[in-house]
Amino acid sequence: KNEVEQSPQNLTAQEGEFITINCSYSVGISALHWLQQHPGGGIVSLFMLSSGKKKHGRLIATINIQEKHSSLHITASHPRDSAVYICANSGGSNYKLTFGKGTLLTVNP
């Protein structure tokens, strides 16, 4: 069974801090996704990656296939980064994603 675990569940940071959110999964993947959901908002896809590292602005996602682990980093965090961050992988399925329960990030000014 494909399981996806995220840590931490909750994270509070001061503006400007470097943030890391971790994701571990149990079944080998074809791709891992990082998603963002602002309070009361819809879900936006941030990254899809199957190896190495991807960067978009202040966001960086890395993945280690051998260790079945991915991290999402936010540099120079800002209050507008406050959201729930969710990782998900396909666990070998062509269709379905399995989701972690999410990490609630709060960035205080």
Partner 1 sequence: DVKVTQSSRYLVKRTGEKVFLECVQDMDHENMFWYRQDPGLGLRLIYFSYDVKMKEKGDIPEGYSVSREKKERFSLILESASTNQTSMYLCASSFATMDRVFGYTFGSGTRLTVV
* Site of interaction with partner 1 (CB under 8 A): 30-31, 33, 35, 41-45, 48, 50, 86, 88, 90, 93-97, 99-102
Question: Which of residues 14 and 30 has its CB atom nearest to partner 1 in the complex?
Answer: 30
Alpha-carbon distance of 94 to 109, in angstroms, equals 42
For residue 56, the minimal CB distance to partner 1 (Å) is: 15
CA atoms within 13 A on the CB side of 77: 22
For residue 59, the minimal CB distance to partner 1 (Å) is: 17
Burial status of residue 87 (CB atoms within 10 A of its CB: 0-12, 13-18, 19 or more): buried
Question: Which of residues 57 and 95 has its CB atom nearest to partner 1 in the complex?
Answer: 95
